Amino acid sequence: MSEMNFASDNTAGIAPDILRALAGANDGFALGYGNDERSRDVERLFAHVFERDVAVFLVTTGTAANAIALAHVSPPWGAVLCHREAHAITDECGAPEFFGGGLRLIGLPGEACKLAPQTLQNALGDELWGGPHHVSPSALSLTQATEAGTIYRLDEIAALAALAHARGLAVHMDGARFANALVRLAVTPAEMTWKSGIDVLSLGATKGGAMAAEAIVFFDPARAASMAERRKRGGDLVSKHRFLAAQFAAFFAEDYWLTLARHANSLADRLAARLAASGCKPVWPVEANIVFVIMSKDRVTKLKNAGASFYVRRSLSLPAGIEIGADESLLRLVTSFATSENEVDRFVELACR
């Protein structure tokens, strides 16, 4: 592995406390499929974090969390509205549609990968909805933090959720980087979810430092009826379930998840500030742990040759006035709990020299 790892937050290993918790959970025997003590504690743990009774289903990937959650809140003839760059529509190989029996994801435009209330209102006002000929809007899915590394403010979530609820839609949040948004906004998990109108959350721990642990959280447990069967049919009821539970227990213990996310965000801030000071201003405000910059292809080659790892992205919908020249590329740089200041500084020095 190179020293400058900005390809994704999943290139990092397992955060030390979580690794210790996995080793700790390895002693002795425990019943499988969530019937062990650690797993039975999980709902209590989440209820404490979210300040209300919740129904929780642990799974192993963010794709499974999104796909199974969306399938649960949408009929096969439903339409799930999301941003057109949302991971669920662009990067999950049709899993939500597959698990949802053919439900349709509909991508809407929006600056910085965020949906604006007016856009949602216009989409809902479209006359082409409803049976028997057309799909009907059944859910709204918001990504927090977004694929552009931006975040929805609480009033923005609440405004979108209110519009969705007024039309009977369920509101889902893809929280693969939930903690990064949470610490930036300095709000509580309850405030960023059910208090703002979120009905179901895909809460990611993997990118935040776990080995593989994601949770589907229903804020109205009654809504989760038959979810256990849906997860099993989805092939994601883990038999050695205690290891999923142990990861979340360590993730939440003493606000470890927030400490890890703060580190990732602060390194993204450092990266953004130093790149900007050298004339490479990030394309979008850096609000989580993702930095997008445009660089010449020569510099990209130089960085790659020096061992830096990152992805060059096709252009997302860029802000007005920003264009990628023929000899330029759009870079996505992601920091993690394990990113070091040295990595950032070395990258900037190479990128800007």
Residues that bind ligand PLP (CB under 6 A): 61-63, 66, 87, 143, 147, 174, 176, 206
**Nearest distance, CB of residue 61 and ligand PLP, angstroms:** 4
**Nearest distance, CB of residue 149 and ligand PLP, angstroms:** 10
Task: Give the nearer residue to ligand PLP in terms of CB position, either 143 or 329.
Answer: 143
Give yes or no for a contact between 270 and 341, defined as CB atoms under 8 angstroms apart.
yes
Question: Strands, DSSP E only, in 232-296?
Answer: 290-296
Task: Give the nearer residue to ligand PLP in terms of CB position, either 215 or 348.
Answer: 215
The DSSP code sequence of 301-313 is HHHHHTT-B-EEE
**Nearest distance, CB of residue 202 and ligand PLP, angstroms:** 7
CA distances from 33 to 27, 154, 157, 168, 217 (A): 17, 36, 34, 34, 18
**Nearest distance, CB of residue 9 and ligand PLP, angstroms:** 8
Q: Letter for the amino acid at 318?
A: L
Partners of 200 in beta bridges: 172, 218
**Nearest distance, CB of residue 68 and ligand PLP, angstroms:** 12
* Run of H or E residues at 263: helix 256-277
Task: Give the nearer residue to ligand PLP in terms of CB position, either 56 or 113.
Answer: 113
Partners of 203 in beta bridges: 175, 215
159: helix, coil or strand? helix
Task: Give the nearer residue to ligand PLP in terms of CB position, either 65 or 294.
Answer: 65
**Nearest distance, CB of residue 145 and ligand PLP, angstroms:** 8
* Run of H or E residues at 156: helix 154-166
Which DSSP symbol is given to 280?
-
Task: Give the nearer residue to ligand PLP in terms of CB position, either 92 or 343.
Answer: 92
Strands 328-334 and 78-83: unpaired
Which DSSP symbol is given to 5?
B
Task: Give the nearer residue to ligand PLP in terms of CB position, either 30 or 310.
Answer: 310
Which residue's CB comes closest to ligand PLP? 62
